[in-house]
């Protein structure tokens, strides 16, 4: 590929710290990392090369929402949301939608000492939805905004999107193992704020 382009980030040459297998499941290792692009290591990330030849990591390609046939990366949506001055952190997950196939469900943590749900939340939701449409396009419209005083994270700071998907779908009884959560109480808080 030449010039500006966007696609999967792959690596063609081995390196010293390269993973060599998945313990007890080498077939899965080969299928996940070497069959998507035969002969190349597939990182699972999307990347973009700009006009100057610099590479930019866009985000995980498995974190993509298919809205009416348009593939929208959750990282793009989250970046647009986090550009708003009231937003400290955002996490976007897919949710089933009867017409579009999948919709965008945003969990929003606000800056400062907001109460949850915040005063003026209808206006703030409209501003956030507008910011996403402006950054990505008209197809990128938020279907739900969930005010979140915190997000479910592991002790190392990774957001557990599996938990967020279950809460968004109203399937909190199917969340499963939460032993890696740094703050397990955040789940109940999020569940109680679902309809706020």
> What does DSSP assign to residue 97?
E
Mean pLDDT over 34-60 rounds to 85
What does the pLDDT average to over 40-61?
85
Q: Name the most confidently modeled range: 24-33, 79-88, 166-175.
A: 79-88
Average pLDDT (131-140) is 91
Mean pLDDT of 77-100: 93
Residue 1 banded pLDDT, cuts 50, 70, 90: low
Distance CA 116, CA 195 (A): 11
In which domain, by residue range, is 14 found? 5-60
pLDDT of the residue at 142: 93
Pick from 48-52, 67-71, 107-111: least confident: 67-71
pLDDT at 113: 73
pLDDT-based confidence at 195, cuts 50/70/90?
Answer: low
Q: Report the C-alpha gap between 158 and 155 in whole angstroms.
A: 8
Q: What share of the chain is helix, strand, coil (3-state, %, to 5)?
A: 25, 30, 40
- Together in a domain, 38 and 90: no
C-beta atoms surrounding 38 within 10 Å:
7
Answer whether residue 64 shows pLDDT above 70.
Answer: yes
In angstroms, the CA 75 to CA 71 distance is 12
Domain stop point among 14, 45, 60: 60
Answering whether pTM is above 0.75, one says no
Q: If pLDDT is split at 50, 70 and 90, which confidence band does 196 have?
A: low
Q: What's the chain's average pLDDT? A: 87
For residue 101 the two structure tokens come to 């196939």
Q: Are residues 48 and 69 in the same domain?
A: no
∠ CA 90-176-99, rounded to 5°: 55
Phi, psi (degrees; rounded to nearest 5) at 79:
-65, -40
Q: Let me know whether 105 and 173 are in one domain.
A: yes
- Count CB neighbours of 29 within 10 A: 14
The per-residue pLDDT for 48 is 85
- For residue 60, the SS3 value is strand
Q: Provide the pairing of β-strand 101-110 with 87-97.
A: antiparallel
CB of 100 within 8 A of CB of 144? no
What burial class does residue 87 get, using C-beta atoms within 10 Å of its C-beta: 0-12 exposed, 13-18 middle, 19+ buried?
A: buried
CATH number at residue 139: 3.30.300.30
Same domain, residue pair 139 and 154: yes
Q: Three-state SS for 19?
A: coil
């Amino acid at each position: 590929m030449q010039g500006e382009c966007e696609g999967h980030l792959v690596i063609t040459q081995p390196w010293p710290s390269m993973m060599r297998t998945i313990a007890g499941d080498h077939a899965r290792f080969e299928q996940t990392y070497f069959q998507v692009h035969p002969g190349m290591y597939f990182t699972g990330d999307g990347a973009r090369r700009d006009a100057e030849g610099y590479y930019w990591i866009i985000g995980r390609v498995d974190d993509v929402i298919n809205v009416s046939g348009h593939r929208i990366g959750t990282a793009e949506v989250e970046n647009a949301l986090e550009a708003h001055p009231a937003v400290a952190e955002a996490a976007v997950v897919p949710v089933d939608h009867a017409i579009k196939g999948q919709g965008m469900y945003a969990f929003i943590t606000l800056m400062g000492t907001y109460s949850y749900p915040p005063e003026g939340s209808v206006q703030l939701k409209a501003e956030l939805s507008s910011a996403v449409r402006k950054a990505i396009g008209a197809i990128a419209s938020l279907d739900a905004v969930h005010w979140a005083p915190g997000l479910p994270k592991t002790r190392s700071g990774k957001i557990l999107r599996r938990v967020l998907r279950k809460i968004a779908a109203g399937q909190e009884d199917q969340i499963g193992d939460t032993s890696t959560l740094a703050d397990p109480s955040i789940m109940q808080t999020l569940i109680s704020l679902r309809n706020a």
